[in-house]
Amino acid sequence: MPELPEVETVVRTLEHQLDRVMITGCEVFWNNIIGYPDAATFCRDIVGKTIQGYYRHGKYMRFDLGDMEWICHMRMEGKFYVQQPQEPYDKHVHVILQLSDGRQLRYHDTRKFGKMYLYEKRADVSSYPCFKNIGYDAFDERITAEWMYHTLHKKKTALKAVLLDQRYIAGIGNIYADEICFAMHMHPETMINHLRKKDFEELIYHIRRILNGAIRAGGTTIRSYTSQLGVDGRFQLKLKVHAKKGEACPVCGTTIKKIVVATRGTCFCPTCQRRR
């Protein structure tokens, strides 16, 4: 499931692979992938545009097309492939963009959960309808301990639920939420209103440290990128607790437990991570 670091890797990889390429054709095989407008309009309007910039907001990718903006969310299983037209593709390829250099940009998504949007360009990125419930990107400097304390100190919500809630901080998903809770030595169900301003400073520090570490690990993917593999931004990153149920905590050796928090499978160390 691509989270912020994986999306960043995909965006940078595509920028490296495609740069300023023109889109000369578009086919959509599964209409629900297109969140706005309808698939036919999407195809008609994207053809003839040149990609002029590659950006990311939370887990969303943004492509500057000059007078329009193409926005994609890969949800859990989305991948992009840059391939030659004659290369075969399977039933999970739902969108194919023909490029001016003869190659194709193919969107592959096993569960069809991903979404693409095409909007008239706006100066204020946060005003796009698909970002209606999406807050500041995790690296946005407007996320400060003061802002977090002000926004959250009265809420009776679990720490992990806050980390996953894209309205507050955009980009963190289930994997890094577990890792961030571990770094905080906090039980994922710690109530956010129990955190002090100093805790929020620490939280922001760990969020950015962990996401940055993952982005750096993703750089390896860019260098070793080959079109056959597809670009999904995944890489080998040593996780401390996520998906480690039954294994020993790397710090104290206690068996990692798994519970459900905010409807998500959640792994944590019962010794290192205390409730507050």
Catalytic residue among 12, 59, 103, 240: 59
Q: Give CA separation, 220 vs 10, 48, 63, in Å.
A: 12, 33, 23
190 is a site residue for DNA (CB under 7 A): no
Q: Give CA separation, 207 vs 135, 175, 177, 183, 197, in Å.
A: 15, 12, 9, 9, 15
Among 126, 133, 220, 254, binds DNA (CB under 7 A): 133
Among 37, 53, 253, 265, binds DNA (CB under 7 A): 265
DSSP code, position 171: S
The residue assigned the tokens 């995909």 is: 10
* Minimum gap (Å) between residue 267 Cβ and DNA: 9
Bridge pairing between strands 136-137 and 257-261: unpaired
Number of neighbours of residue 67 by Cβ within 10 angstroms: 9
244 is a site residue for DNA (CB under 7 A): no
Q: At 156, which amino acid appears?
A: K
Among 24, 144, 166, 271, binds DNA (CB under 7 A): 166
Among 12, 49, 56, 59, binds DNA (CB under 7 A): 59
32 is a site residue for DNA (CB under 7 A): yes
58 is a site residue for DNA (CB under 7 A): yes
176: left (phi over 0), alpha (psi -120 to 50) or beta: alpha
Per-residue x/- track, 98-117, DNA (CB under 7 A)? ------------xxxx----
**Chain positions contacting DNA, by CB under 7 A:** 1, 30, 32, 58-60, 73, 75-76, 92, 110-113, 130, 132-134, 155-157, 164, 166, 173-174, 260, 263-265
Q: Which residues are catalytic?
A: 2-3, 59, 264
